[in-house]
Amino acid sequence: MEKGKYSEELNVAVRVVHMACSMCEKVQRQLLSTNPDQVKSKDDDSLVTVADWSVQATVSWMLCKAFDSQKISIVAEEDIQTLSKSESKSLLAMVVSAVNACLAEAPRFGLQGPEKTLDASQILEAISKCSSTGGRLGRHWVLDPVDGTLGFVRGDQYAVALAMIDDGEVVIGVLGCPNYPVKDDGLNKYSQQNVVMSRISSGEVGCVMYTSKGSRKAWMQPLIRSDKRFEWPNSAKLIQVSSIDDPALATLCEPVEKSNSDHSFAAGVANTVGLRKKPLRVYSMVKYAAIARGEAEIYMRFARSGYKEKIWDHAAGVLLVQEAGGMVTDAGGRPLDFSKGIYLEGLDRGIIACSGFKLHQKIIAAVYASWESSNL
């Protein structure tokens, strides 16, 4: 990959996400086979696992190690409220174990880990370090440690998403997709099934996709497994969006969960624009990955009333699609604004990601037509 303004940051980010994905795979296998206690419910009834906290602690520690720990700003989803409770001692112990095992492998990924194992207080501190709210000025790392936790606990699709915002613009996007099939059209084959327990060859699934703003290129690299040493970018290949602009031939990605996205309105838009194929329902930001890679052409998300989209759910995926040749805007056709803190403030109805301009314009027109006739 060519040298650019953010080459050093991208280099570290790609390696750290590879590390995090490796840890997630180990935690997921253990979770699915032996230990349901690794899953907890947060106050908003969403799920959080050992992997969420462990990834956040690992990424936070590595970023602080690589860059100025006093000045670094990290925006991330998890806090230490649950882990700090007295009844969570065993849960915290699992997080400490997972983080230290992951950090011990840092040299394999070309990074420097700690000189000695971290204790619980140091790991809680690393998680708490991710308390920034971002904003319009300066550089802010944005992390979703396990995007699509429900997919994670079901052995389905999930992602480790790391982005960097510089003066309000997303400039680095790295998306780790441990269960994403590396072969063409694999997502459709393996969607909504337990990939982990399906005995799929390890070489068939798992990748990290990444890009930087203005590169006009996006890359995909298979996950590095077992004891192999990480080499970057030797095994990476270019990816790009699909050239399909006929709605009748396009594939639509949409969220699996109905709680935060209006499937019925999306179906109305799909009917208006002339989509013929059955929607591909996928957990997590893997939907953005599918468009960037050319496996799908459209992603529509219409939040239900009262729900506010968070920047960590979109930053890395949005840049990946854009630099791979696609378009992402709100449903009114305006660029997404990542400069207002942890929420995508001022969002017009929803989010539309498409593989190209023509298809995007058709979807936007269909949104307006469907909106006028709906009772939303």
Q: What is the pLDDT of residue 45?
A: 47
Q: Is the pLDDT of residue 1 over 80?
A: no
Query: 0.85 cut: is pTM over it?
Result: yes
On whether 147 is known to bind a ligand per the annotation, the reply is yes
Strands 139-147 and 159-166: antiparallel
Task: Calculate helix-pair angle for 286-293, 315-323, nearest 10 degrees.
Answer: 0
Q: Is the pLDDT of residue 273 over 50?
A: yes
How far, in Å, CA of 254 to CA of 280, rounded? 6
Q: Is the pLDDT of residue 258 over 90?
A: no
On whether 119 is known to bind a ligand per the annotation, the reply is no
Q: Find tokens 């949409």 and name the residue.
A: 254
281: which residues sit within 8 A by CB, 6+ positions away?
191, 192, 253, 254, 255, 256
DSSP letters, 105-140, are TGGGGT----SS---HHHHHHHHHT-B----SSSEE
How far, in Å, CA of 53 to CA of 276, rounded? 41
Bridge partner residues of 299 (DSSP): 253, 353
In order of 60, 175, 213, the CA distances from 210 in angstroms are 19, 6, 10
Bridge partner residues of 39 (DSSP): 49
The vertex-148 CA angle with 157 and 242, nearest 5°, equals 55
Query: Predicted confidence band at 187 (pLDDT cuts at 50, 70, 90)?
Result: confident
**Average pLDDT, stretch 14-31?**
92
Q: What is the pLDDT of residue 28?
A: 86
How far, in Å, CA of 175 to CA of 154, rounded? 20
pLDDT tens, position by position, 54-103: 999 999 999 999 998 888 999 998 999 888 898 889 889 999 999 999 99
How far, in Å, CA of 79 to CA of 355, rounded? 35
Q: Is the pLDDT of residue 332 over 50?
A: yes
Catalytic residues: 52, 149
How far, in Å, CA of 205 to CA of 218, rounded? 19
Q: What is the pLDDT of residue 376?
A: 46
On whether 77 is known to bind a ligand per the annotation, the reply is yes
On whether 313 is known to bind a ligand per the annotation, the reply is yes
Q: What is the pLDDT of residue 69?
A: 82
SS3 180: strand
Query: Predicted confidence band at 194 (pLDDT cuts at 50, 70, 90)?
Result: low
Q: Report all structural domains of the chain as residue ranges with CATH numbers, in order of start.
A: 7-239 (3.30.540.10), 247-373 (3.40.190.80)
Lowest-confidence region among 202-211, 309-318, 327-336: 202-211
How far, in Å, CA of 98 to CA of 86, rounded? 20
